[in-house]
Homo-oligomer: A and B are copies of this chain.
Amino acid sequence: MPGAIQSLSRAAAILRLLAGGERRLGLSEVATGLGLAKGTAHGILRTLQQEGFVEQDPESGKYQLGAELLRLGQSYLDVHELRARALVWADDLARAAGETVYLGVLHQRGVLVVHHVFRPDDSRQVLEVGSMQPLHATALGKVLLAYDPVARGELGGGPWEAFTARTVTEPAALDAQCALVRERGWADAVEETWEGVASVAALIQDRRRNPVGAVCVSGAVETVCGPDGAVRPALVASVRTAARAISRDLGAHRF
């Protein structure tokens, strides 16, 4: 494969840099942060600004991400086939389970949330579409790891960050869990990401049985798990049924 276009790669790096730092960044910060000459960085920033990908605070002259990115991100969701077909199933699942539902796809070294159905009560919740979750510490992630060798390979050999005392941080333990996931056909994560939160996830496949994403139910450990500490079987069944339904939906129109 021939090389990438230099200016484009650099522009992407600038956008990621701006996305990473919480606050706005100045021209010099951007330039030194990526090892570019000031003039070079300025040329790229100027173009990105004209296109709406970057905005400049007129007061301080510092740069931040632009609104066009939000619009394009929304367009990504609009054409996302998996998400479109999963919408109604995810809604039903949330209703039946009485819990939050996430739909995630593999992206870089994490799980990107492409759909999020609020728990059906009146509590205040923030939408997490577009956010990333760790592969090794979530039910969504472990499902994708179990069925996607490439993802497992890219994750490397740990040890990984521990979010709680129950986070799996060692490769051997994670691989054992993945084997279990493949055997059972579903993954759980009880207090591995946040204290008090438990999740169940199952795989979504396309028409050729390739893993394309995962669906997950997440909620308070008291409601997701039974008195024995294990995930309630009825919930597992709901999640697996939903995953199968979405997978079937993805393949149905093929012939």
Contacts and interface: CB of A to CB of B under 8 A. Distances in A.
Contact of A72 (B8, B65, B120): B65
A155 interface: no
Contacts of A44: 5, 8
Contacts of A50: 4, 9
A114 B69 CA distance: 12
A98 interface: no
A132 interface: yes
A112 B76 contact: no
Nearest to A57: B81
A73 interface: yes
Contact of A70 (B16, B66, B114): B114
Interface of A: 1-2, 4-5, 7-9, 11-12, 15-16, 18-20, 22-24, 43-44, 46-48, 50-53, 64-79, 91, 105, 107-108, 112, 114, 120, 122, 124, 127, 129-132
